[in-house]
Structure 1
Amino acid sequence: MNDAFREVALATVDVLRKYAAEVDERARFPVESFGALRESGLLGLVVPGEYGGPGAGLDAFADVAQVLGGGCLSTALAWVMHCQQVDAIARFGTPDLRRRVLPRVARGELYIASVTTESGKGGHLLTAEAPLSTHEGRLRIERNAPVVTGASVAEGFLITMKGDADGPAQAVSLVYADRTDLSVTETGEWDTLGMRGTESLGLRLSGEVPADQAVGEPGRFREVAVESMIPMAHLGWSACWLGAARAALSELVSSLRGPARRGPDTESELVRERLARVRIDLELTSGYLHRVQQEVSGAREAGRSLGAAVTQIHLNTLKVAASELTFQAADGMVQLAGLSGGYSRTSPLPLERTFRDLRAASLNYANDRLLTATGALMLLDRSVALG
């Protein structure tokens, strides 16, 4: 079955590759690529079978993310974050919410964006400032978010809110809202060095939704984050970054072996050493991604919580290592290809865009924050259970 999902992704990735440079140039959302994802069924990849989806596991999710990352990293990351939202609803949504939302996702009708950022707290996932209130039995949403991936095109949103006005910032609730239930105002602009195709604009959201659209227990978003959103993000992002770097390396090696043989001298021992180091970075990323994916899959299949300190350490380590190693590999490839082949925007190789996109990896939930959390968790793992 996983091979079938991979084949679908391979059949779709040409569309992503076709539009990747243009969406980067214009800093616009890749609507054509998402159209292909909708038509292929990949938008509903992780929707359970009872709601019309294929119910793919984490191995297929990571495989598809790698393939898509090799075509357009902006598209792949937006897709991963959508799957993250779908998994949270599938695992923690109310029965009525699952029945209303998940079949639409499976049919390719619904792209769900994540709304977790706030101006006062940045990207800190487990706190919120805007309070969730109740009005005549409905949930009232008044929310500003400075960064929302796919803000202009999302048909639905999963939104973090403070449980109530007087509660602590750590008592976070999660709420689903259709775009049609909200007043949505775009704010700011998206003009960044890399990841330009995610078009992560700011939003101002206002409206009311039924009370059964709360996802997870009120004030207990941390459980949803630990069991669903964090593992889906770190596994999916890492797979996307690896896929982008892997595709770039494949194109670089092909250019070095081609009949024109433009670029560095492949007989040089220094060139061969640098190629080897790039390959090592990607091999290490791939190996650790596979290891952590197996750990998370095994825990889910056995019904074990992912909240154990050692599992959280492994997930955090994966994100940090993958973001650093894939960018290091991209840097090495640019160095190998040189000014015209690697650093030029007009090069037939996509190294310049890959370099810019992967520079964002360490900022996509900041590595510094994860390292601080990992250091604290290490004090709880006296066995030092390595991955």
Structure 2
Amino acid sequence: MAEKILPLLRENAAQVDGDATFPEAGLRALRECGLMGLLVPEEHGGLGGDLHDLVDVAGVLASACLSTAMIWAMYCQQVDAVVRFAVPGLAKDLLPRIAAGEVYLASVTTEAGSGGHLMTADASLRSGGEGIAFERLAPIVTGGRYADGFLITMRDGEDTTANKVTLVYAARDQLELETSGEWNPLGMRGTHSEGMRITGTIRPDGVIGPRGGYRTVAVESAIPLAHLAWSACWLGAARSATADVIGLLRSRKRPGSIDLSSDLVSERLARVRMDLELVSAYLRTVCDEITECRTDGRTVDVPSTQIHLNTLKVAAAEHTFRAVDRLVQLCGLSTGYLRTSPIPLERHFRDLRSASLNYANDRLLKANGSLSLVDRGVRLA
């Protein structure tokens, strides 16, 4: 299914990157082919896919356009939260429309001053007639201008502490939206992550998960889905870049400066392949672990599993970027570095440079250091 839309994604990738525009054609194709409903259970009209399906599709999409793949991956985080934590009434109303491709969900978790820290919030919910009112200013909302609905983290009330965070669903027609800032980044330019001021009133059944208990939603859904799907996207892009380079090296168009009998060329290719193999194997291992936890009804909120998830994200971010960096070095200035190259290595390079910043690796390594002191058994993946 994903393979059918790859020609469209490839055709538009350069323009999406060059103009820093949201991939509207790609999103439309995802709506029409049914992949917006990948994680929606079949009883609600979806495909009933699992985490392995998520990882597979994310990698395929990223092979053509990493921006589109990351947008879809972050959307799938939101869908999983609705599937697992929405009250029955909201799920019955919303999930069939998600499955039909009618509702693209955007995530609102960032706040000025706290960045992407998920477990605290400043802006608070308040009573608003028959519903729950709020006003939220977010410095980054991926694809917010094009979203049909939003999942928004808020402090549970004006008198509660910052760590009492509640996740709410708001449909676009319940909101007043104002965009701000300019999106002109180095890479991941198509994700179009503008700032937004969001004001509105939602129904009480718009709360996703327990009031003040977003930590449960984050740990059991948002974080595992993010680290698995992001890693799959980065691997898919790096794998595609590697395949393109190998195809070029085996063709008559191989640059004359690259000698395939050279030990240095062989070593560089071997190290690129090793980086990809390590990420692929660890991604599958951690995906199996999270899937087993879900199947058995066990929480993933244990030190060893959290370490594995965090390690996956950091390793995928570092190794996929390093692989593409090595490909740029191997291919040289004209083929590896110029934007006019027949292989978009410089775009992959810019896009993958963002991987370590997309929820900062430093933050995850700090967490893993603390968790390592708790996991006395040193339970490895």
Equivalent-residue separation in structure 1 for 2:56 and 2:161 (angstroms): 39
Q: Are residues 1:353 and 2:347 paired?
A: yes
RMSD: 0.7
User: Counterpart of 2:138 in 1: which secondary structure?
Assistant: strand
- Equivalent of 2:264 in 270, 281, 295: 270
Query: Partner of 2:211 in structure 1?
Result: 218
The letter of the residue matching 2:117 is H
Query: Partner of 1:340 in structure 2?
Result: 334
Equivalent-residue separation in structure 2 for 1:265 and 1:34 (angstroms): 41
Correspondences of 1:1-387 after superposition (within 5 Å): 8-262=1-255, 264-387=258-381
Equivalent-residue separation in structure 2 for 1:166 and 1:374 (angstroms): 32
The letter of the residue matching 2:335 is G
User: Counterpart of 1:38 in 2: which secondary structure?
Assistant: helix
The letter of the residue matching 2:368 is T
Gaps of 5+ in 1: 1-7
Deviation at 1:136, TM superposition (A): 2.1
Equivalent-residue separation in structure 1 for 2:83 and 2:253 (angstroms): 51
The letter of the residue matching 2:106 is A
Equivalent-residue separation in structure 2 for 1:174 and 1:224 (angstroms): 8
Gaps of 5+ in 2: none
Deviation at 1:375, TM superposition (A): 1.0
Equivalent-residue separation in structure 1 for 2:305 and 2:285 (angstroms): 11
User: Counterpart of 2:139 in 1: which secondary structure?
Assistant: strand
Equivalent-residue separation in structure 1 for 2:33 and 2:245 (angstroms): 29
Deviation at 1:378, TM superposition (A): 1.1
User: 1:76-106: CA deviations, max 9, x gaps?
Assistant: 0010010100000110001111112111110
User: Counterpart of 2:272 in 1: which secondary structure?
Assistant: helix
The letter of the residue matching 1:270 is L
User: Counterpart of 1:219 in 2: which secondary structure?
Assistant: coil
The letter of the residue matching 2:377 is S
So what's the TM-score if we normalise by structure 1? 0.97
Is the 8 Å Cα contact of residues 120 and 129 (structure 1) preserved in structure 2? no
Deviation at 1:166, TM superposition (A): 2.1
Is the 8 Å Cα contact of residues 133 and 140 (structure 1) preserved in structure 2? yes
User: Counterpart of 2:200 in 1: which secondary structure?
Assistant: strand
The letter of the residue matching 2:218 is A
Deviation at 1:137, TM superposition (A): 3.2
The letter of the residue matching 1:188 is G
Q: How many residue pairs get matched? A: 380
Equivalent-residue separation in structure 2 for 1:260 and 1:182 (angstroms): 54
Consecutive aligned runs of 4 or more in structure 1 exceeding 6 Å deviation: none
Equivalent-residue separation in structure 1 for 2:239 and 2:3 (angstroms): 14
Equivalent-residue separation in structure 2 for 1:261 and 1:362 (angstroms): 32
User: 1:102-149: CA deviations, max 9, x gaps?
Assistant: 111100111100000001211111111101112123111200000011
So what's the TM-score if we normalise by structure 2? 0.99
Sequence identity percentage: 56
User: Counterpart of 2:356 in 1: which secondary structure?
Assistant: coil
User: Counterpart of 1:379 in 2: which secondary structure?
Assistant: helix
Equivalent-residue separation in structure 2 for 1:318 and 1:222 (angstroms): 20
Deviation at 1:260, TM superposition (A): 2.2
Is the 8 Å Cα contact of residues 143 and 205 (structure 1) preserved in structure 2? yes
Per mean C-alpha deviation after superposition, the further-off stretch among 8-17 and 155-164 is 8-17
Deviation at 1:244, TM superposition (A): 0.2
User: 1:42-70: CA deviations, max 9, x gaps?
Assistant: 01100111111011001111000000010
